[in-house]
A and B are shown apart, each in its own frame.
Chain A
Amino acid sequence: MSAADTTTELFLDVRGLHKRFGENVVLAGVDLAVPRGSVITVLGKSGTGKSVFLKCLAGIVRPDGGSIRFDGRSLNAVNAAARAEFRRRCSYLFQSNALLDSLTALENVALPLEQTTQIPNREIRERSLEALRQLELDKHRDRYPSQLSGGMQKRLALARAIVTRPELVLFDEPTAGLDPIRRNGVFEMIVKYQRQFGFTAVVVTHDLPEALVASDQVALLDGGRMQFQGTPEAFSLSADPTVRAFRDSAGALRDTITALRRGETVTSKEDL
Chain B
Amino acid sequence: MTRALGQHTLRIVSELGDFAVFTTRAFTAAVGSRKLGRRVLRAIYEQGVRCLPVIVIVGLFTGLVLGLQGYYVLNRFGSEGLLGTLVSLTLVRELAPVLAALMLVGQAGSALAAELGIQRNSEQIDALETMGASTHAYLISPRLIAALIVFPIQTTIFALVGLYGGYLSGSVLLNLQSGVYWSAVHNAVGPQDVRECFTKAAVFGLLTIAICAYNGFNAHRRRTSTGARAVSASTTRAVVFSSITVLAADYVITSLLVNQP
Binding site for B on A (CB under 8 A): 58-60, 84, 87-88, 90-92, 94, 96, 98-101, 111-112, 114-116, 160, 164
Q: Would A116 and B126 count as touching, CB distance under 8 A? A: no
What residues of A have a CB within 8 angstroms of the CB of B35 in the complex? 114
What residues of B have a CB within 8 angstroms of the CB of A87 in the complex? 130-132
- Most chain A C-beta atoms within 10 Å of own C-beta, residue among B34, B131, B133: B131
B131 to chain A, nearest CB (A): 4
Say yes or no: A164-B124 contact (C-beta < 8 A), given A114-B34, A114-B35, A115-B34.
no
A98: contacting residue among B34, B126, B132, B138, CB under 8 A: B126
Q: Would B122 and A88 count as touching, CB distance under 8 A? A: no
B122: contacting residue among A91, A92, A98, CB under 8 A: A98
Q: Would A96 and B134 count as touching, CB distance under 8 A? A: no
Say yes or no: A116-B127 contact (C-beta < 8 A), given A96-B122, A98-B122.
no
9 A-B pairs with least C-beta separation: A115-B133, A87-B132, A98-B127, A98-B123, A92-B130, A112-B131, A116-B132, A58-B130, A94-B123
Measured CA separation A94–B128 after assembly (Å):
11
**Count of B interface residues, CB-CB < 8 Å:** 17
B186 to chain A, nearest CB (A): 46
Measured CA separation A112–B133 after assembly (Å):
7
What residues of A have a CB within 8 angstroms of the CB of B126 in the complex? 60, 94, 98
Q: Would A59 and B130 count as touching, CB distance under 8 A? A: yes
What residues of B have a CB within 8 angstroms of the CB of A60 in the complex? 126, 129-130
Q: Is the interface of A mostly helix, strand, loop or mixed?
A: mixed
What residues of A have a CB within 8 angstroms of the CB of B132 in the complex? 84, 87-88, 112, 115-116
A100: contacting residue among B124, B134, B137, CB under 8 A: B124
Mark each residue of chain B from 110 to 136: 1 if its CB lies under 8 Å from any CB of chain A, else 0. Answer: 000000000100111011111111100
What residues of A have a CB within 8 angstroms of the CB of B122 in the complex? 96, 98, 101
What residues of A have a CB within 8 angstroms of the CB of B124 in the complex? 98-101
What residues of B have a CB within 8 angstroms of the CB of A116 in the complex? 131-133
A37 to chain B, nearest CB (A): 21
Mark each residue of chain B from 9 to 35: 1 if its CB lies under 8 Å from any CB of chain A, else 0. Answer: 000000000000000000000000011
Measured CA separation A94–B124 after assembly (Å):
9
- Most chain A C-beta atoms within 10 Å of own C-beta, residue among B124, B132, B134: B132
Q: Nearest residue in A to B130 (C-beta to C-beta)?
A: A92
What residues of B have a CB within 8 angstroms of the CB of A96 in the complex? 122-123
